[in-house]
Amino acid sequence: MRKTYLLATALVAAAAVSSPAWADHVNLGGPTAKVFVGAQAHQGPHVHGSFGTIQNGVVTDSSVDPNGGAFDAGPTTPGATTVHASAYQPGGNGDAFFESSAYGSASLSRGELKATVDNTFANNFGSPLGFVDAQIFDTLYFTNATDHAIALEVSYGFDGTIALGPGTTNQGGSAAIFLRSCGGCGSITFDNGAGLFDNRMSFNEGGVYSYDSSPQWTFVADPAGVGGTLFTTLLIGTGQTSLGIGAQLALDCRGGTSCFFGHTAALGLGPLADGLSYTSQSGVFLADVGGGPATGGVPEPGAWALMILGFGGAGLALRRRKVAQA
């Protein structure tokens, strides 16, 4: 069954005031590092696909097409806070050969998400096509030891390229940022005093962006590609407060279009002012980057390059097999 996944980059946050017992504070269901990948391609008149999901080191579902499909994920260690997954599907129609591969990763310790869909050869009724949905979630517990609210910048930076397939136009997707309050808590707000609420944006391959109205957020587009940085300033109230925070990067690339967002999509916090500190439910949130602000353009890991080589070999073997059969 063909699945459609919204291309989205999402920052999800929930704020709450409670007693000093952190167990009473709001969270987003526990620390999460999750990746779904799916690749599909016509084989003759029918679409075949391979897909799977890994969450916190556990593969929760997968399906591999026996006609050359593949799915791989890791690390498969329960409780893992950094995960990655890849899927591959070859296809063909008559003399035409085409293929789709998808890769995604998610890391709480770096606040990073990566996603890439690489489709090759002809557009065959919207095929080949690939999907990625990478997510991280965690809960932060702030202590503000001063007698006044403290400003803290939250940022999300991402960048990539979209290469149109034959016969396709205006390929793109959307990015969503959510800041959700716990109702009447009000201890964490935007710096202009407004409460927390949803914000959405969309973009296409030309780097054109559109937004739901959200004056609390500032977006600076990347002139060299598709992406940029979204940032805002929050006011962290005195005493103990909690902030559920997460990010999502998802791709939906069809008709031979390829979407390369394997550079880092990074969630970040600005420098902490004197008197402000935090811990996280996972114990590792941004631990590998020191909790700094988001930056884009960090090269993807070697695992992605190795996956491309492996998939290329699989495609070559399939082509040779077809020639031999002929």
Q: Are 69 and 62 in contact (CB under 8 A)?
A: no
Averaged confidence pLDDT in the chain: 77
267-324 pLDDT, tens digit per residue, is 889 999 999 999 888 999 999 987 655 544 333 433 333 343 344 444 434 333 333 3
136-194 pLDDT, tens digit per residue, is 988 888 899 999 999 999 888 888 888 888 777 666 666 666 666 554 445 788 887 77
Residue 17 has pLDDT above 50, yes or no: no
Residue 39 has pLDDT above 60, yes or no: yes
The residue-averaged pLDDT of 15-43 equals 69
Beta strands in the chain (DSSP E): 9-17, 32-43, 46-55, 58-63, 70-74, 82-93, 96-107, 112-120, 129-144, 150-163, 172-181, 188-190, 198-204, 209-211, 218-221, 226-236, 239-253, 258-269, 276-280
243 versus 282: the higher-pLDDT residue is 282
Q: Where are the domains of the chain?
A: 9-325
CA dihedral over 308, 313, 317, 320, signed as positive or negative: positive
